[in-house]
Chains A and B, each alone.
Chain A
């Protein structure tokens, strides 16, 4: 079945560091990928929609300059948390949908646990 790979699975770094998270669709192409943030025992909160070859669409309240998204190819989107601070610590999850199958559900990566010290 369709697989979405997310890397790294866990990051621990110092405050002020920028962290890049990758989301890859392994056996399908995705013109659109989605980035979510999740706090413990809570639901997923959509941060932005990543569009291949164009600018990402951010949800209300999400800082574009803080969370940089690049979707340079049909199989890769990256989320960079710039100058991360402890309040950015969270579980970040991406998802993607096969561009040929618009009526099919999204496939989720396994998430990245980001811890800022």
Chain B
């Protein structure tokens, strides 16, 4: 059973398009992180959301944490080829720092 369902798992779009990635769970998280990972490298933290209903923006990226702290979304506006990569959501349930990862979304932005 996947505790954090991430979708879609694969996404191929044209430059300039918008996209949204979702992470859903039946569990409550104390916080949720979004990471971006390039091949052969470790994940790089994009944002942490902590408060239910919180919205954070990072340039063209908008992150939202659900009111009940069970789900989150990442929206990218006007995608660029440099946005290509693996996007991972990870939830913290206050279990000694252990993170629960979603399945990941492999994003490909074509010129």
Binding site for B on A (CB under 8 A): 4, 6, 32, 34, 41-46, 49, 91, 93, 95, 97, 102-103, 105-111, 113
Q: How far is the CA of A49 from the CA of B43 in the complex (A)?
A: 18
Picked from A32, A41, A45, the residue with its CB within 8 Å of the CB of B97 is: A32
- Are B41 and A106 interface neighbours, CB within 8 A? no
**Interface bits B29-53 vs A (CB < 8 Å: 1, else 0):** 0010101000011111100101000
Q: How far is the CA of A24 from the CA of B31 in the complex (A)?
A: 25
The 5 A-B pairs with the shortest beta carbon distances in the complex, nearest first, are A108-B42, A43-B104, A110-B42, A43-B101, A108-B43
Q: How far is the CA of A42 from the CA of B87 in the complex (A)?
A: 10
18 contacts between A and B (CB under 8 A): A32-B97, A41-B106, A42-B104, A43-B88, A43-B101, A46-B98, A46-B99, A46-B101, A95-B42, A102-B97, A103-B50, A105-B31, A105-B33, A105-B48, A110-B40, A110-B42, A111-B40, A111-B42
Q: How far is the CA of A66 from the CA of B57 in the complex (A)?
A: 43
Besides the contacts A6-B42, A41-B86, A105-B48, what 12 more A-B pairs have beta carbons closer than 8 Å?
A: A41-B106, A43-B88, A95-B42, A97-B97, A103-B50, A105-B31, A106-B97, A108-B35, A109-B42, A111-B40, A111-B42, A113-B40
